[in-house]
């Protein structure tokens, strides 16, 4: 879609950095991940299913799978949005387990 608009407007799409902003609903354990899905469902109500693709939901490895899908779709950067109350344990797991998978050397 972005490429089409760039062509229409006479802009070079390679000059843009493709990024995605995602909500963070990750749990360290399977049980905590299920609880985070429930929190996301409460936060978004009836819109949860339509917003789910824009959220990191589940375990750290499920978050990594979602990020891989964004990368496959052309995302070069992922911006993670944290909402209070913060789950620092889950975020630390994300930093330790997921970020290294996608870091460029």
pLDDT value at position 14? 86
pLDDT single digits (tens) 43-73: 999 999 999 999 999 999 999 999 999 999 9
Which position has the higher pLDDT, 3 or 52? 52
pLDDT greater than 60 at residue 105: no
Secondary structure of residue 29 in the 3-state scheme: coil
pTM of the model: 0.84
Q: Residue 21 corresponds to which tokens in the numbers above?
A: 């902003």
Q: Average pLDDT, stretch 10-35?
A: 94
Q: How far apart are CA 25 and CA 43, in angstroms?
A: 11
- Give residue 56's Cα distance to chain centre: 4
Domain ranges (residues) in the chain: 25-102
How many CB atoms within 10 Å of residue 41?
16
Q: How far apart are CA 36 and CA 24, in angstroms?
A: 9
For the chain, the average pLDDT equals 93
């Amino acid at each position: 879609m972005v490429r089409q608009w760039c062509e229409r407007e006479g802009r070079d799409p390679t000059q843009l950095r493709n990024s995605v902003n995602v909500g963070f609903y990750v749990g360290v354990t399977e049980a905590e991940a299920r609880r985070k899905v429930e929190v996301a469902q409460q936060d978004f109500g009836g819109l949860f299913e339509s917003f789910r693709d824009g959220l990191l939901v589940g375990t750290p490895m499920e978050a990594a799978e979602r990020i891989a899908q964004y990368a496959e779709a052309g995302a070069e950067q992922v911006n993670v949005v944290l909402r209070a109350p913060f789950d620092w344990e889950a975020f630390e797991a994300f930093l330790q387990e997921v970020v290294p998978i996608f870091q460029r050397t």
